[in-house]
Structure 1
Amino acid sequence: MAGFTENALSKKLADLNSSQQSIQTLSLWLIHHRKHHAAIVRVWYRELSKAKEHRKLTFMYLANDVIQNSKKKGPEYGKEFGNILKKVFEHMSYLDSDDKTRTGLLRLLQIWEERGVYDAKQIKEMKMAFEKNINSEPPKKKSKVEKAFDEKMSNSKEKPVFNVSAKNKEQGYHDIQKMSSKESRQHIVRERKKSETEVEIEIDGRKEVHTTLSPHRALPAGDPPEPEELIKALLDLENSASSDAVVRERIASLPPEVSEVSLLSKLEDKGAADKLSVQVNEALQLLMDYNGRLAEEMEDRKRVSAMLRDFLQAQKDLYTQAEERLEEYTDKLQKVYLVRQELKSHIQNLPDLTQLPDVTGGLAPLPSAGDLFSMH
């Protein structure tokens, strides 16, 4: 199908970020070019193996989106990815990944199991592959699937190399086991119905409807928020309890009798004591309500702080990618300058056509073959 090249896909994968829009757009492009599914999965695997560890989960989210949304048009991607996912999970288990990545991978397995993306046997093999290499060294022998896939990639210039280290992933694996109860499955079904949305995106001049089966927001916490979401959270903090001047003034204007035990001796009669009792109860309720609001504000601030951290990390990643791309294109620009200089030099060395003899009247006819070989 016109418009697809492996180099184009490599560049798109290099520009991929963890936002829902980025994943959906590239997913639709890949589905649009599903005729090249074998090459696409090969390049995806190659680029995932070279990507930094914090970006590998985004590659898995992309694969998940392609696998699930391509089922309407054919099983090509599901089968092609299915041939290597066990190997991918096995290698991912060696990586020095953080909790977010491990939980995200296990969450994908849970989604695939719940939605029947892969059968129970395949899911079990992927889980075992992700679990069996805990505290182990990378395997030296390759399975038949690995050998077949390596042979399939033999024509590629760059072969996948994983920078691995042994680290205990057991806690992350057991987290997924806790989700196996009936209540958890029912919760996931409700979440799926709630989160499934359709968006219309234009790809290569054609508008296509994309169903977000496992959207960015439904995946584990820690993903960078969308800018609008972060802005809204920051604006909400402006109306937080600590900024409520009215309540703070009411608390500051409370009479000292409600908080000073030593002043109780100044009460003269039962009426004054009853009046003070009412004031104390009102002050207690006011302070309890305000303390509750402050506690909620503290939780909101922690949440916003985490959002800011994830957002800044995502922006740093994008900045790093942009710097790498800038360096790459700067090198290409220098090469273009050199070619231009060579071209100018070559042009200057060409003969001046204006100095050639005038041949307006035409050239003499070339001799025929008979003229050349005739005997005089």
Structure 2
Amino acid sequence: MASFSRAVFVQKLSELRISQKSIVSLSRWVLEFRQNAGSVVTVWLQQFRLVTPGRKIIFLYLANDVLQNGRRGGPEFLILFATVLREAARLVARSRDEACKACFRTLLDIWQERKVYIDEFIQNLRLPLGEPQTLPPTVTEEQRPPEKQTFGAIQESEPRSVPEGPSPQPSILNLPLIEKMIRALQNLQQSASGDTGEMPTLPPEVQDASFVKRVAGTSEAKNLTELMEKKCTSLLEYSSVLVRKIDDQHNLIEMLLACTQNQYEVLVEKEKKYEESKKKYQEATQILQCLVDIST
């Protein structure tokens, strides 16, 4: 399988059309690069900021397909998209485009109905759109924006290959992603320890352009040419290694950000449960005290 390329993804996004075939095709391509989920989401948001409201609708359809059909393989896309959907909601609201806002609202209804994200997170996404924090009713045909009629199959049909049962939630500690991040850290540490001596050594005749003036004869020129070609090849190979390492480090940083976001979501959820438990304890203590007073 070819490696993930941001430039290729940007090109594919520019060619994306509002049809089920186009959306599903790019979604499947994206899901082949689960290990590059951070780069995928970053590029998606960067391009989402730039496109028109009409194109934003298509990008939202793509995110919907990736989220719903990527759950079986792991929670990477769920968690990483969760870090950018708040900004996406603000951008949709700022566009003042009713069709775009209606599209996003309907997707939020679908995600809530199918438990793609927890209710509290979805309610927070509704706020920029000017919606009250109330649970939405079941999605009806009348509530769907007109654009959806040309692309209804993607929203109305069941997602492809989505497993039954509860899906990973941002408020649940994401152990698989943490384990993957630890492995990535170990791999980087091992590769860093083997970096010594990888940089090709260049002889003076390759580094000093004035050395060419001292070349005497065709044979010597040919030897110098072969030496330079060999060293150029070595430098290109070493550059490729550096590019891969830089990409690995970039992905690791994005995984760290995702894990940080996940930890924050877990902390917020635990604090909420703690406050609820504390309140119930205080109420139970008051009731117990009343019972003691009555019995005496």
- Report the TM range for the smaller structure's normalisation: 0.3 to 0.5
More helix by share: 2
Instruction: Give the structure-1-normalised TM-score.
Output: 0.38
Instruction: Give the structure-2-normalised TM-score.
Output: 0.47
- Which structure has the bigger radius of gyration? 1
Which one has more relative contact order, counting CA pairs under 8 Å at least 6 apart? Answer: 2
